[in-house]
A and B are shown apart, each in its own frame.
Chain A
Amino acid sequence: MNGVRATIAIVVVTNCVTTLVQAGDDAVTYRNVRSITTCKGPRGFTHAMRGIAVQNDLLYVVGDQKLLVLRTNSTLARSWPTEHPGNCVAVHPDGRVFVGEEGQIEIFSPDGKRSSVWRDAERLDFVTAIGFAGDAVIVADADGRCLRRYTADGEYVRDIGKGKRLRGFMLPNRYLDFFMEDEKIIRVADPGRHRISRYTIDGERLDHVGHFATKSERGFPGCCNPTNIARTPAGDIVAVQKAPPMVKVFGCDGEFRTAFGGKSFDPNCKNSDAAVDRAGNIYVIDTVRLEIVVFGPEQPHGTANDSEQMP
Chain B
Amino acid sequence: MNEEPTRRDVLGHAARGAALLGMGGLIGYLIKHGSVEGAWRINVDQCVNSRLGALGVDVCDKCATTCVLALSAVRAVNDHAACGRCYICPAYFDVNSAINEEGLPSAKLCPRDAIERFEIGWVDPDDPANNYYEYVIDEVKCNGCGRCVMACKEPAGLSSIRLEVRHDLCLDCNRCSIAQVCPDDAYIREPTT
Q: Which residues of A contact B99 (CB under 8 A)?
A: 212-214
23 residue pairs A–B, Cβ–Cβ below 8 Å: A165-B124, A167-B130, A170-B129, A172-B85, A172-B86, A172-B157, A172-B158, A195-B129, A211-B103, A214-B99, A222-B88, A222-B95, A222-B157, A223-B89, A223-B158, A242-B156, A245-B155, A267-B56, A268-B53, A268-B55, A268-B155, A269-B155, A270-B155
Residue ID in chain A nearest B89 by CB atoms: A223
Q: Which residues of chain A are within 8 angstroms of B89 by Cβ–Cβ distance? A: 223
B146 contacts partner chain A, Cβ-Cβ < 8 Å: no
- Find chain B residues with CB under 8 A from A214 CB: 95-96, 99, 105
Q: Do A192 and B90 have beta carbons less than 8 Å apart?
A: no
A221 to B155, CA, bound (A): 12
Q: Considering the complex of A and B, which 4 residue pairs feature the smallest CB-CB distances, nearest first?
A: A172-B84, A243-B156, A270-B155, A223-B86
CA distance A80 to B55 in the complex (A): 36
Residues of A within 8 A of B156 (CB): 222-223, 242-243
Given contacts A172-B86, A269-B155, 4 further A-B contacts (CB under 8 A): A165-B124, A212-B99, A223-B158, A268-B154
- Of residues 185 to 228 in A, which have CB atoms within 8 Å of B's CB atoms? 192-195, 211-215, 221-224
**Contacts of B15 on A, CB cut-off 8 Å?**
none
Contact B122 A167 (CB under 8 A): yes
Q: Which residues of chain A come closer than 8 Å to B122, judged between CB atoms?
A: 167
* Inter-chain contacts of A267 with B (CB < 8 A): 55-56, 155
B168 to chain A, nearest CB (A): 32
Q: What residue of chain B has the Cβ atom nearest to residue A208's Cβ?
A: B129
* B86 adjacent to A170 (CB under 8 Å): yes
Among B55, B88, B96, B158, point to the contact of A194 (Cβ < 8 A).
B88
Closest partner residue, chain A, to B105 (CB atom)? A214
Instruction: Please give the distance in Å from A161's CB to the nearest CB on chain B.
Output: 12
User: Taking CB as reference atom, which chain B residue is nearest A287?
Assistant: B155
A side interface size, CB within 8 A: 25
Nearest B-chain residue to A216, judged by Cβ: B99
Determine if B21 is an interface residue (Cβ-Cβ < 8 Å). no
Q: Produce 1/0 per residue, B152-163, CB < 8 A to A.
A: 001111100000
Question: Of residues 246 to 295 in A, which have CB atoms within 8 Å of B's CB atoms?
Answer: 267-270
Please indicate the chain B residues that have their CB under 8 angstroms from the CB of A224 in the complex: 84, 86
Q: Does A73 contact B (CB under 8 A)?
A: no
Cα-based distance from A223 to B130 in the complex (angstroms): 14
Residue of B nearest to A193 (CB): B129
A56 beta carbon closer than 8 Å to chain B: no
Interface flag for B104 (CB, 8 Å): yes
Please encode chain A, from 142 to 174, with 1 for each CB lying within 8 Å of some chain B CB and 0 for all others. Answer: 000000000000000000000001010010110
Task: Provide the residues of chain A in CB contact with B129, threshold 8 Å.
Answer: 170, 192-195
Contact of B105 with A170 in the complex, beta carbons under 8 Å: no
CA distance A193 to B85 in the complex (A): 12
Contacts of A85-143 to chain B: CB distance below 8 A: none
Closest-by-CB residue of A relative to B129 is A193
Most buried by B among A172, A212, A223: A223
Interface string of A221-243 (1 = CB under 8 A from B): 11110000000000000000011
Complex-state Cα separation, A150 to B158, whole angstroms: 32
Q: Given that A167-B130, A267-B56 are contacting pairs, would A221 and B95 also be in contact in the complex, using a CB cutoff of 8 Å?
A: yes
CA distance A64 to B125 in the complex (A): 43
Q: Are B90 and A270 in contact (CB under 8 A)?
A: no
Q: Which residues of B contact A193 (CB under 8 A)?
A: 87, 129-130
Measured between alpha carbons, how far is A215 from B94 in the docked complex, in Å? 12
CB <8 Å contact, A270 and B84: no
Chain A, Cβ-Cβ closest to B152:
A223
Cβ of A245: which chain B residues have Cβ within 8 Å of it?
A: 155
Residues of A contacting B157 with CB < 8 Å? 172, 222-223
Within 8 A of A (CB), among B113-171: 122, 124, 129-130, 154-158
B84-A192 in contact (CB<8A): yes
Q: Nearest chain B CB to A189's CB is how many angstroms away?
A: 14
Contact B95 A192 (CB under 8 A): no
Instruction: Report the Cα distance A222→B154, complex, angstroms.
Output: 11
For the complex, give the distance between the alpha carbons of A173 and B90 in Å.
Answer: 14
The CA of A170 and the CA of B156, in the complex, are separated in Å by 15
A304→B60 CA distance, assembly (Å): 37
Are A192's CB and B55's CB within 8 A?
no
Q: With A and B bound together, what is the CA distance between A153 and B124 in angstroms?
A: 37
Closest to B126 in A: A165
Is B52 in the interface zone, CB < 8 Å from A? yes
Bound Cα distance from A170 to B53, whole angstroms: 25
- Residue in chain B with minimal CB distance to A245: B155
- Complex Cα distance A245/B55, Å? 12
How far is the CB of A188 from the nearest CB of chain B, in Å?
A: 15
